[in-house]
Amino acid sequence: MNTRSTILPVTCALLMLAACAKPPTEQIVAAEKAVTEAQQSGASTYVADDYAKVEGTLAALKKEVSDQDGKLALFRDYGKAEQLAAAAKSEAERVKTEASKKKEEAKAAALQAQQVAQEAVTATLALVAKAPTGKDRAALESIKADAEALKASLNQVQMAIDAADYPTAQTKAIAIHEKSQAVSKEIETALAKIGKGKPSATKKK
Amino acid sequence: MPGCCPRVTSIVLGWGALALAGLLAGCVEAVPQDAIEAVENIDRDLMQLRAAEFSPNDYAQFTHQWMALKSRVQADEDLIRWPWEPNDLENALRQLQEEGSHTVSRLTKEREVLRHSAKSKIAQVEDRSRMMTVQVSAIDSRLVLGQKPVETDLLMKQAHAFYEQGQYDRSLDAADRAAQNLDSQAVLLNHEFGRYANRGQITGWQQMAKDTITWSRIHRTSAIVVSKADRVLTLYRNGQKVISYPVRLGFNGIREKRYQGDGATPEGRYRISRKRGQGQTQFYRALVLDYPNEEDRRRYRLERKTGQIPASRAIGGQIEIHGVENELMAQTLGCVMLDNPQMVLLFDRVDKGTPVTIVGALHEQNSVAQTLAVLGVQREET
């Protein structure tokens, strides 16, 4: 068997193999799915930098596939596309995990702030309820309105939590807590003052 | 020169080896490390600026290019490139670095502008809020605003919190909403108290006071006029002013009384229906008025019929001019309150049947109208 007769079939086989190179469709679909899941987990909000890079990798992958698709079949090589698809998928999975973790942390912080705010408002309303009725109550009317406003604002915290807008929920809850404490202090001061007076007997006005 | 050839050969070979080594050395580094590090630094700067959150399009554009080049860098690592060959990858990295630098610079400026806007807005709204509180307290109308002052306060606290977190866009948004809340407070005050700035209404009140004074002159007896905006009670005798006393009103005193428990002090023509001396009232001395009069009843029936007053609300009564039960009490439930030394003087100078006319205001430049004007100007300015 001479050398020529050996090289020719091997070369043909290699050329045929090269001509058969196909894009790594399954890996690309898997990478896209992983990126979508990362986005749905809130990655664009909680790990925005990392998520942007994952999207960048996905875009690079698509461009690489497109570049290879544009070449003659003989010269196509999807090796780099496979690497990018694998990188995009694994990075998207990491980002998804990270986003879920941060989202849970934000949710926990918002829920804790909500509970603290609720307790503060409850304490404020209890103080308002202690206020005497009748004539002496007049000085507390505006404070009562404030306490009612704080109670109503707690609904906004819940709405923000329901909408998964945890930063807004947390800042709102903290604001309610601070304001509630200020109102409680105001009530205590007013109660200390009017406590010296006698309750009113007349009802009509 | 027999030894010359080997020496020349060795020199030539030596220089050749050096040249080859130099050439090979030039081929090893396909992409200079400093070009990669420069882009990495730009990426770090953009992350510090939170570009992905505040300018997602800019950051996406940068990362798309960066990731594409990064994959090329990784793929090109083992390639050998001749020094004279153009290095497209390096050029692309340098270009991305330049573009990224521009983006960093632009975003830094934009962020600074946003920060400044948020800071200014917070200061502006806080000033306005303080002014609103002062003005509203001056005319005792905090209750009219209901829950709105607290809503404004909470929004401003949020604006501060977001500002401290570097979330200037959210801070600005919260401050904007607080400003809108203040606008709605000004609208509400105008709606409730617009009559204090209404020339026709003031003319009507002036006429009521004039009629009362005329009655005092004709009947050669006493009469009382109370101006709610000025918080002044004036005693007339034979049509002549005798003395004026400062008074305190209901906790919603500036409002027009509509039903029991609203804290408003009624406006209208009344008479003293009963005098309660020492021991007959808890408020030192009291002059009971004949509220509600026929006009009050007619208005109450109409508003109740049209649903403006809840069916459960009665018209109220027991409106008095009285002294002070508790020195710390700043407001009443709808009565007119005088300090005790002045109350005793007034009590002794009037009789059962003495007319008492209570009006909103007696002149156009009254305190309520001035407050509305100040708040209106502020609203236009923000």
Compute mean pLDDT per 10 residues along chain A, 205 residues long, and list them: 58 56 92 96 92 92 91 89 94 96 96 97 90 57 87 96 94 96 84 57 57
**E strands present in B228-285:** 232-237, 240-246, 268-276
Contact A63 B68 (CB under 8 A): yes
CATH of segment(s) B201-363: 2.40.440.10
Closest chain A residue to B136, measured at CA: A142
pLDDT band at B302 (very low <50, low <70, confident <90, very high): very high
Cis status of the peptide bond prior to B266, with omega within 30 of 0: no
Average pLDDT of the segment spanning B228-253: 94
User: CA B222 to CA B235: how far, in whole Å?
Assistant: 7
Distance in angstroms (rounded) separating the CA atoms of residues B347 and B351 = 8
DSSP-derived pairing of the beta strands B232-237 and B240-246: antiparallel
B293 CA to chain A: closest CA distance, Å? 14
φ, ψ (nearest 5 deg) of residue A162? -60, -35
Probe site for chain B from A39, A89, A114, A142 (most B CB atoms < 10 A): A142
Domain positions in chain B: 4-111, 114-195, 201-363
Among A75-89, A165-179, B61-75, B162-176, the range scoring the smallest mean pLDDT is: B61-75
Q: Which residue has the higher pLDDT, A80 or B210?
A: B210
Cα separation, B323 vs B348, whole angstroms: 13
- Compute the distance between CA of residue B33 and CA of residue A110 in angstroms, rounded to an integer: 44
- Residue in chain B closest to A63 (alpha carbons) equals B68
Q: How confident is the model at residue B50 (pLDDT cuts 50, 70, 90)?
A: confident
Whether residue B371 is predicted with pLDDT greater than 50 in this model: the reply is: yes
SS3 B75: helix
Among the partner-chain residues A80, A135, A149, the one whose CB lies closest to the CB of B151 is A149
All residues of chain A having their beta carbon less than 8 Å from the beta carbon of residue B47 are: 49
Residue B26 has pLDDT above 70, yes or no: no
pLDDT digits (tens, 9 = 90+) for B177-194: 999 999 999 999 999 999
Q: Is the pLDDT of residue B355 over 70?
A: yes
Tell me the ipTM for this assembly: 0.79
The predicted structure's pLDDT at residue A132: 63
Q: Is residue B8's pLDDT more than 90?
A: no
What percent of chain B has a predicted confidence (pLDDT) above 90? 66
Mean pLDDT score of chain B: 88
Which chain B residues in 325-344 lie under 8 Å from chain A, judged by CB atoms? 325-326, 328-335
Length of chain A: 205
Interchain pair B335, A174: CB under 8 A: no
Question: What's the mean pLDDT in B90-117?
Answer: 94
Residues in chain B with CB shorter than 8 Å from the CB of A55 are 60, 63-64
- pLDDT for B79: 62
pLDDT of residue A187: 78
Q: How many CB pairs under 8 A join A and B?
A: 159
Q: Where are the beta strands (DSSP E) in chain B?
A: 222-227, 232-237, 240-246, 268-276, 286-289, 320-322, 336-337, 355-359
Q: Which residue of B has its CA nearest to A190?
A: B328
Apex B40 CA angle, B37 and B44, nearest 5 = 135
Distance from C-alpha of B75 to C-alpha of B90, rounded to nearest angstrom: 13
**Is the CB of A201 inside 8 Å of chain B's CB atoms?**
yes
Judged by DSSP in three states, A98 sits in helix
Write out residues 168-187 of B within 8 Å (CB-CB) of A. Answer: 170
DSSP string, B275-315: EE-BTTBSSSSEEEE--S-HHHHHHHHHHHHTTSS-TT---
Interface touch A145/B63, C-beta < 8 Å: no
User: Is the CB of A139 less than 8 angstroms away from the CB of B330?
Assistant: yes
Mean pLDDT of B260-284: 92
Q: What amino acid occupies position B374? A: V
pLDDT at B171 > cutoff 80: yes
Query: Looking at residues B231-253, what average pLDDT do you find?
Result: 94
B162: distance to nearest CA of chain A, Å?
A: 8
Helix, strand, coil percentages (3-state) for chain A, rounded to 5, are 85, 0, 15
Q: What pLDDT does A3 receive? A: 55
Q: Is B167 on the interface with A (CB under 8 A)?
A: yes
pTM: 0.80
What is the mean pLDDT of the segment spanning B111-121? Answer: 96
Which residue from B45, B86, B95, B87 is spatially nearest to B66, judged by alpha carbons?
Answer: B95
CB atoms closer than 10 angstroms to residue B311: 6
Q: Which of B54, B153, B258 to mutate to test the interface with A (most CBs of A within 10 A)?
A: B153
